[in-house]
Structure formats: structure tokens, C-alpha cells
Structure 1
Amino acid sequence: MPWEKQFNESEALERAGDAFWKYGYEGISLNTLLEEMGIQKGSFYATYSSKHQVMLDSLEAYINKSFCYLDGLAKQPSPREALVEHFQRIAAPDCAGKGRGCYVVNMALEMAPKDPAVQDLIQKNFERHEECYRRALQAAQALGEIPAELDSIAVGRTLLALVFGMQVLVRAGAKPDVIQSVRDQAIRLLSGATLHS
């Protein structure tokens, strides 16, 4: 009789992502990972080739899920307001207070410098993230919400840096007012203003 999965793979993968997010890749043992995923060792190895593979799969699933939201920024009735809400959401005290930062950022800091597969996944995420911001900016320009002369490519890249910078600040335990000041700088860019101290 062929072997059949005894667990929901997408749910187990999401729990694996939460575990790596909480403990880090190096900080979690296989036994703890299995406990967090709620599966047995036999099921794990019948589905995944290694701890490394389940980390990559969970990271990719997390990234793809986030783009269900980010891809929609340019399609909102007010792309500018959608961007503002996005920045406010990242800097919100209840989000910043969790102290875990972003799963992507955590893996970028821990794994990307020494793991080409993670580095490739992270770089593709950054490129797609930047593209979402650029399209939202261009949509806002088409509606007259932000200045037409604003360089959507340069500002999109700056927003990318500010957003992931906020996530690093969250992970490092920065005070909410510090994170919110970075958010305010991101919002200033939408009006064509320059950054200031």
C-alpha cells in the first residue's frame, strides 16, 4: 500500500516557518522542529529531504503569502493611502512590540551570508518587493496622488530600504518612536519631500 501523508502539509509548513522565525535556523533542533510542526520523524523525511529544505520551503511559502497583499497595493482605489497604511502597519506598536521582526529579514541576517539558496530567495524577494512599491507609486502618479516628477524607481528602492530597516529595528528591540520616525520618513517620500533628521 502506498504511503499517504497523515498531516496537512501547508499547515505543517506554516508551523515550521513560525518555529524558524522564533528560534532561528541554527537555534532549533530537529526534535523541537518536529514538535512545533506536529509531525513524526518518518513523516518529515518522507516529505522533506532535510531541515534545510523545510526551511527553504517555509520561507518561500511565507514570501508568496506576503505578496498576495503587496501585489494588491497598486490596485487599491488610493494606492498612496494603501502605501501609507502599509508603512503604518509595520511601525504599529502592537506589531513592533512583538520583537520578532520579519521572517525574511531574520533569515537574511542569519543565513543569506553563508547560504546561496537562501541568498537567492531573499534577493528575488527584494526585487519583487521593490517592483510592488514601484507599481504602487506609478499608479498613485497616474491618479495625481503624488507628484508626476517623482522617480518611482529610486523612491521604490528607498522605500524598500526603509521598510526592511524598520523590520531590523523591530528585531533589535528599538523603541516604537524610533521605528515610527522611520515610517514618517517613508511617508514624506510620497509627497516628493527629501529625507531629514
Structure 2
Amino acid sequence: MARNKEYDEGAVLDKAMKLFWEQGYEKTSMADLVEHMGIHRRSIYDAFTDKHTLFLKVMDRFGEKVRADVQAGIKQAETAEGAIEFIFDYILDGEEGMPPGCLFVNSVVELAIRDADVDLKTRHAFIRSEQLIEEVVRRGQESGEFNKQHSAAHFAEYLNNVLTGLRVMIRTSLDKEKLQRISKLSISVLKK
């Protein structure tokens, strides 16, 4: 007879996400996951097959959460500039109780060159991010908020690259004020 799950899968994925985000994939052991997730090793294997599959599910959950948060913030912004500022602030401020930076960026640096699954997931995440930024920039160009010196796609490539760099730098002891200056300067290239 099959046993019912004795845990909330979303909650344990969130716990695993935080641990992988803080420590990275390689440094996180199954013992760490058992302790941090609060479920038995056998339950982890039954639900997620192995550490790698669990990590990929965590990446999916992270992507869904970030996408939902950013889209909600963009919808609430009254202007395209406000939407772009929200995106930058979201990266710099992070989420309370979560590690700084970005699980995708950390994963690219640690694993993408030798893990095709991680490479694919992170490439798709960066493409979606760039597309979202492009939509906001296009909206700003159409409304007259932003200049048309470059195409929305080219501005999006540039801004996405800056955001990626900020996600790396936010994990350092670098002064946050410096990162905010970089953010403001990057947004200013859009203005007329």
C-alpha cells in the first residue's frame, strides 16, 4: 500500500532552494538536504529521484517564483520607467529571508559549462528575462518615456547583462550604494 506524503512538496522545495542558493549545488550534500528540508532521505529519493533531479525542480520553482514576482511588480508600475526601476530594485533588494543574488546566476557560474540540464534551464531563464525587459522598454519607447537610439531588443540585451552582473556583485561585500548608482546609470541610458 502506497503511503501518503507527510509533507508539503512546495515547502520542502523552498527549503532546498534556499540551501542550494546559499551553498551551491556541489557543496550541498544529501545529509544537508535531509536536515534542512526536514524529511527523510528515502522521501527525498522517492519524490525527487536524486539530488540532481531535485536541483532541477528547485530551479523550476525559483524561476516560477521570480517570474511571478517580477510580472506582478511590472503590472503595478504606472510607467515603463517605474517597471524597469522595479526590476532593478527587486534584484538589489532581494526577498526577505532569502540569500542575496540569484540562484540561476549562481548555477551558471558553478555548473552550466559541464551540466547540459542546468545550462538549458539558465539559458531559457535569461531569454525570458530579456524578453520581459524588451516588452517594458518597447512600451516606454511607444509612450515616449524612452529614447529610440537603440531597438528595444538591444536595450534589453544591455540591461539584462547589467542585471546579471548586479546579481553577482550583490553576493559580495561591495557597498550597496555603489550597486544602486550602477542601477540608476543603467536605467538613465533609456531616457530621452
TM-score above 0.5, yes or no: yes
User: Within 5 A, what are the aligned runs for 1:99-178?
Assistant: 100-178=100-178
What do the CA deviations read for 1:124-175 (whole angstroms, capped 9, x no partner)? 0000000000001111222222224541010001000001101111123322
Contact 2:18–2:99 under 8 Å retained in 1: no
What do the CA deviations read for 1:18-48 (whole angstroms, capped 9, x no partner)? 0101111111110111111111112111101
1:27 aligned partner, one-letter code? K
Instruction: Give the structure 2 partner of residue 26 of structure 1.
Output: 26
Instruction: Give the structure 1 partner of residue 79 of structure 2.
Output: 78
Contact 1:70–1:129 under 8 Å retained in 2: no
Contact 1:99–1:173 under 8 Å retained in 2: no
RMSD: 2.0
Instruction: Give the structure 2 partner of residue 195 of structure 1.
Output: none
Instruction: Give the structure 1 partner of residue 41 of structure 2.
Output: 41
Moved more, 65-74 or 166-175: 65-74
2:16 aligned partner, one-letter code? A
Q: By how many angstroms is 1:70 displaced?
A: 2.8
Contact 2:130–2:157 under 8 Å retained in 1: yes
Classify the secondary structure of the residue corresponding to 1:71: helix
- Unpaired stretches in structure 2, ≥5 consecutive residues: none
Instruction: Give the structure 2 partner of residue 87 of structure 1.
Output: 88
Q: Distance in 2 between matches of 1:91 and 1:186?
A: 13
Q: Distance in 2 between matches of 1:25 and 1:99?
A: 14
Instruction: Give the structure 1 partner of residue 69 of structure 2.
Output: 69
Moved more, 62-71 or 151-160: 62-71
Between the two proteins, the alignment pairs up a number of residues equal to 189
Classify the secondary structure of the residue corresponding to 1:111: helix
Q: By how many angstroms is 1:75 displaced?
A: 7.3
Give the TM-score normalised by the residue count of structure 1. Answer: 0.87
- Unpaired stretches in structure 1, ≥5 consecutive residues: 193-197
Q: Distance in 2 between matches of 1:121 and 1:84?
A: 26
Contact 1:19–1:36 under 8 Å retained in 2: yes
Q: Distance in 2 between matches of 1:3 and 1:99?
A: 34
1:131 aligned partner, one-letter code? Q
Contact 2:130–2:160 under 8 Å retained in 1: yes
- The answer to which structure, 1 or 2, has the higher relative contact order (CA under 8 A, 6+ apart) is 1
Classify the secondary structure of the residue corresponding to 1:70: helix
Q: Distance in 2 between matches of 1:137 and 1:121?
A: 24
The percentage of counterpart residues that share the same residue type is 24
Contact 1:74–1:132 under 8 Å retained in 2: no
Q: By how many angstroms is 1:74 displaced?
A: 6.3
